[in-house]
Amino acid sequence: MNTLVCIKRVPETGARISLTADAQEIDTTFLGFTISPHEECAVEEAVRIGGRATVLTLGPRAAEEQLRNALAMGIESAILLETDGGDWGPEATAASIAESVRERGFDLLLFGNEAADTGGYQVGVRVAHALGLPCVTGVKGLEVGDGGVVARREAGGGWEVFELPLPAVVSVKEGINLPRYPSLPGRLKAKKAPIETVAVSPRPSRLEKVRLVVPQEAPSSVEILGDGAGAAPRVVEVLREIGVVAS
């Protein structure tokens, strides 16, 4: 098996988001960076499937950090499609990824269901179309067999099961597995691993960001029902008022 996993570097936001003064980006002065939980699971899945696994990202030089984290989890090699930093949008991202991997003979191309930040829900499908490969999204269970995969996804409380021949594109969701923590030797090895870097240049996008806006939450006024166990009678009163306890 020759597997590719595509990941995207995003800021690790916490309890609230602040924007830069021009409202073009999240202010990352005090933030670290990460990848989507869906993509962490895609990396784990590639490691579990075994064989040869490659991780790829399209992004700035700094995204080497996310590639090395994937290498530390057990991925063999890494490709950086290096940009000058701005977000490309899903069409251009997919076109560039498809072009770069077309000749590399991957059997399975894993994506996250949606990127954590822009949530475009399409790069995997567009890459599949460009390469003429079958594709399924939202996958939370994957079995790789002889020449094909069985993919399961949640639907209406149950599961829908798809069978695809390889090569194929699969977009996964968090929950497909529980990602491992990278081992110390894994981290040390990843630190020195070579990263294949290819410079890529942007193409015009038909979905253009104008500005970002932090949504206004309706101001809330919290009623403190009490401190510690002594608050229980008041809590039960409230549950009765709401009508979730038979009175």
Partner 1 sequence: MILVLAEDDPVALEALTFARRLGEVEAIAFDDVDLDGYATRVHRVRVDGYAPVAWAQAIVELAPEVVVAGGTDRGHEVLAHAAARLDAPLAANVVDVRVDGDVFHLTRQRWGGSLLEEARLSGSPKLLTVAPHAVAAEPAIDTPAAVEEFAPSLSDEHLAVRVARREEPPAGTVQLDKARVVVGGGRGVGSAEGFAILEELASLLGGAVGGSRVVTNLGWRPHSDQVGQTGARIAPDIYIACGVSGAIQHWVGCKGAKRILAINTDKDAPLVAKADYAVIGDLHEVVAAIVAELRAAR
Ligand X SMILES: Nc1ncnc2c1ncn2[C@@H]1O[C@H](COP(=O)(O)O)[C@@H](O)[C@H]1O
Ligand Y SMILES: Cc1cc2nc3c(=O)[nH]c(=O)nc-3n(C[C@H](O)[C@H](O)[C@H](O)COP(=O)(O)OP(=O)(O)OC[C@H]3O[C@@H](n4cnc5c(N)ncnc54)[C@H](O)[C@@H]3O)c2cc1C
Chosen residue from 4, 6, 9, 36 binding ligand Y by CB under 6 A: 36
Tell me the closest approach of the beta carbon of residue 228 to ligand X, in angstroms. 43
Identify the burial level of 242 via C-beta atoms within 10 angstroms of its C-beta, where 0-12 means exposed, 13-18 middle and 19 or more buried. exposed
- Tell me the β-bridge partners of 122: none
Tell me the closest approach of the beta carbon of residue 131 to ligand X, in angstroms. 14
| CA 213/CA 45 separation, integer angstroms | 35
Tell me the closest approach of the beta carbon of residue 77 to partner 1, in angstroms. 27
Nearer to ligand Y, 16 or 206 (CB): 16
Of 86-125, binders to ligand Y (CB under 6 A) are 116
Nearer to partner 1, 80 or 139 (CB): 139
Q: Would you give the DSSP letter of residue 214?
A: P
Nearer to ligand Y, 62 or 198 (CB): 62
Q: Tokens at residue 140, please?
A: 């939370």
| Ramachandran quadrant class, 96 (left: phi over 0; alpha: psi -120 to 50; beta: rest) | alpha
Cα angle, residue 65 at apex, residues 59 and 70 outer, rounded to 5°: 100
Cα angle, residue 90 at apex, residues 86 and 95 outer, rounded to 5°: 100
Tell me the closest approach of the beta carbon of residue 125 to ligand X, in angstroms. 8
Q: Which of 49, 44, 38, 103 is nearest to 69 (CA)?
A: 44
Tell me the closest approach of the beta carbon of residue 50 to partner 1, in angstroms. 22
Nearer to ligand Y, 31 or 131 (CB): 31
Of 76-135, binders to ligand X (CB under 6 A) are 90, 93, 111-112, 114-115, 118-124
Which residue is nearest to ligand Y, using beta carbons? 116
Nearer to ligand Y, 7 or 92 (CB): 7
Nearer to ligand Y, 106 or 111 (CB): 111
Buried b (16+ CB within 10 A) or exposed e, 186-220: beeebeeeebeeeebeeeeeeeeeeeeeeeeeeee
Task: Annotate each residue in 31-70 with x if it binds ligand X (CB under 6 A) or - if it does not, as one string.
Answer: -----x-xx----------------xxxx-----------
32 scored as a contact of ligand Y (CB under 6 A): no
| CA 35/CA 13 separation, integer angstroms | 11
Cβ within 8 Å of residue 204, ≥6 positions away: 92
- Among the candidate windows 31-39, 119-127, 149-157, 210-218, which touches ligand Y by CB under 6 A? 31-39
**Where on the chain is the footprint of ligand X (CB under 6 A)?**
6-8, 36, 38-39, 56-59, 90, 93, 111-112, 114-115, 118-124
